[in-house]
Chain A
Amino acid sequence: MLATGSYNIFVLVKQVPDQGSKAGINPDGTIDRAKAKRMLNPFDRYALQAALFTKRTYGGTVTAISMGPPPATEVLLEALEHGVDLGYLLCDRRLAASDTLATAYALYKTILYVGKPDVIFCGLQTTDGDTAQVGPQLAERLNLPQITYCEDFAIVNGKVEAQRIIEGGTQKVVTDLPVLVTVANSYHALEYKSFRGAWRVQQLKRNPEEMSKYIRTVDLDVIGADAERCGLKGSPTIVAATEKVGEIGGNCCMFEGNSPEVLISDLLAAANVKEYIAALEAK
Chain B
Amino acid sequence: MSKPLDYENLNENVKKCQYAVRGELYLRASELQKEGKKIIFTNVGNPHALGQKPLTFPRQVIALCQAPFLLDDPNVGLVFPADTIARAKHYLSLTSGGLGAYSDSRGVPGVRKEIADFIERRDGYPSDPELIFLTDGASKGVMQILNSIIRGEQDGILVPVPQYPLYSATISLLGGSLVPYYLEETANWGLDIVNLRESVSQARSQGITVRAMVIINPGNPTGQCLSEANLKEVLQFCYQNNLVLLGDEVYQQNIYQDERPFISARKVLMDMGGPISKELQLVSFHTVSKGYWGECGQRGGYFEMTNIPPKTVEEIYKVASISLSPNVPGQIFLGLMVNPPKPGDISYERFVRESKGILESLRRRAQIMTDGFNSCRNVVCNFTEGAMYSFPQIRLPPKAIEAAKKAGKVPDVFYCLKLLEATGISTVPGSGFGQKEGVFHLRTTILPAEEDMPPIMTSFKKFNDEFMEQYEDYRGYSRM
Determine if chain A interacts with chain B.
Answer: no
Q: Which residues of B contact A (CB under 8 A)?
A: none
Q: Which residues of A contact B (CB under 8 A)?
A: none
